[in-house]
Chain A
Amino acid sequence: MTLLIILRIVFILSFVLVLIPVLVLLERKISAFIQDRPGPNRTNIAGIRLGGLVQALADALKLAIKEDFTPSSIRSKFLFALAPMILFLLSTLTIAVVPFSDYFTLDGVKYLMQGIPFDGGILWYLGLASLSVYGIILAGWSSNNKYSLLGSLRASSTVISYEIPLGLCVVSMILTYNSISLNDFVLAQQGSFFGLPAWGFLIQPLAFIIFLVCAFAETNRAPFDVAEGESEIVAGYHLEYSAMSFAMFFMAEYIAMTAMAALIVTIFFGGYSLPYLSSSDLMQNYELTLVCLAIFVSVFGLIFIRWLVKNNVTRYKTKADHRKRENKFYIAMALLVVLAIDLVCLYFYAYSLESFGKEMMALVINASVFSVKTFVMLFVFIWVRWTMPRFRYDQIQRLGWEMLMPLAILNIIITALVVIYVN
């Protein structure tokens, strides 16, 4: 039981913290590919570049050993130091209520697979996510700098225009799923809906669009990242920050983005569950599941190796081609991982699983599906950032108050009518 508590806290914490360097890399690589350039491809450890991940580690090292300079002009040194901590802490806490797997049954007791086992998950999320803007406002105000203050004012203008449609969308989803527990949201999406998986974005397309738009504003991402603005207000609320306290804003944005992606996946894309399959289906046909898993991993590994051999090549003439050595390393590692997973599957296939083993298998598959879905959602976040220009803050307020809020209220009315008269 203690193992379960540690496991879920470790999973959710490592999920957000390990994802930060990966996200920095993804942001740079995706933006590079969208703009027809290769992105970070130089930094390496013994010739191994991990596709540019070493660059993210080097950046982190640089930020950690830089001088943390505090200007003498700031108003309150305490609040100045507190602001990034508030933002970082609240962003980290928001993801704690997102379920990453189905109930774990041990000796007849069901355990919720969330960082914090709390049934009113969505309320916790909304409360903490809207509090986190205090970090931005405090940072801007305590910097004693006009540009920072403008940035934080713009952040608060975004908040007042987006919190309401976001909350109203959640209300319509609560009406649809008839619960405020995020795990019930996922369980409700495991059925089918006119032959399609009963995912939230198919049942409530309007709520999905409004929620997605608000999600970008909530996480301070483009096109609604008015709190920042290189061209208008120098940088925004984090102008006076340096080194690690700046990096904390940076990390808080990525954690908030991960949390929001996880929440969107949970509400609208079936969370941790595979389409049409509930985790009890997985556990009953565990032999078939293991075979499918092994085949899927092998095929994916082979596709990866083929892509690597085709793309990771040197484009100039050289005697010491470090990329050939690097490719050998990658291929060996990929084969090793595929072989290890296949062997584990084979072992469990040969020696039939007990109930604990089945539960563990379902947990691993669910957590992987959840991670993959979150990654796809994160890709959308980054993809939108590198496509659209920033909105003006009055445009955001108009969009929020005049378009999204009436639509969200309309959506609630329609949902309520459907819930009462159709079901």
Chain B
Amino acid sequence: MSIKIKKITRNKMSFKQRIYLFYISLGMLRTLKHFFKNLLNTKNIDFLEYPEQKPTDITSRYRGLHRLTKNEDGELKCVACDMCATACPAKCIFIMASEVESKKEKAPIKFSIDMLECVYCGLCVEACPKDAIRMDSGIYTKTGFDRQSFVRDIVELSNTKGGF
């Protein structure tokens, strides 16, 4: 049995196309128009002067930095079940649990996320049974001068407000 062969005939270029120069000059005119439009009036360029101007069109589904949520009494919802740390593909969540005397029996005493390892996949948010960790802070940049400043600890995580 022979293989089915489909022959594709290429469209022959017209002389105007084969000589290149005509269409090249048309394209160059187009780019030149853009260049002079922007050179003569740089205010027309649509851009954001980023650190001073913040984007306003972030959707509520955007994954910003993590935060730990609190219940009505003001204590962390987290029960240190380690589900998020287990689900994390980058292994960037570190939890140390301890017993507490309140409604819940267990709570984290240490909860830190290494933002240099984090891939912002959101699996920790999906895994959490208590809705204790969310990525809705609306913060889209994290800057720092050393590695240690990128490890966000429990204090920082629980003090972050929800952005959306």
Contacts and interface: CB of A to CB of B under 8 A. Distances in A.
B35 interface: yes
A36 B31 contact: no
Interface string B30-53: 111011001111110111010011
B21 interface: yes
A31 to B, nearest CB: 9
B38 A36 contact: yes
Contact of A388 (B24, B38, B45): B24
A419 interface: no
Dominant secondary structure of chain A at its interface with chain B: loop
B42 A311 contact: yes
B1 interface: no
Nearest to B38: A33
B89 interface: no
Nearest to B53: A316
Interface size grouping (class) on chain A: 20 to 34
A36 B45 contact: yes
B129 interface: no
A37 B31 contact: no
Interface residues of B, number: 21
Given A311-B42, A387-B27, A387-B28, A316 B49 contact: yes
A383 interface: yes
Contacts of B42: 38, 311-312
A384 B28 contact: yes
A386 B30 CA distance: 11
A387 B31 contact: yes
Contacts of B53: 315-316
Given A316-B49, A316-B52, A318-B52, A33 B32 contact: no
A72 to B, nearest CB: 29
Interface of B: 21, 24, 27-28, 30-32, 34-35, 38-43, 45-47, 49, 52-53
Interface of A: 30, 32-38, 209, 307, 310-316, 318, 383-384, 386-388
Q: Which 3 A-B pairs have the closest CB atoms?
A: A33-B38, A311-B42, A387-B31
7 contacts: A33-B35, A34-B35, A37-B47, A307-B40, A315-B43, A383-B31, A388-B24
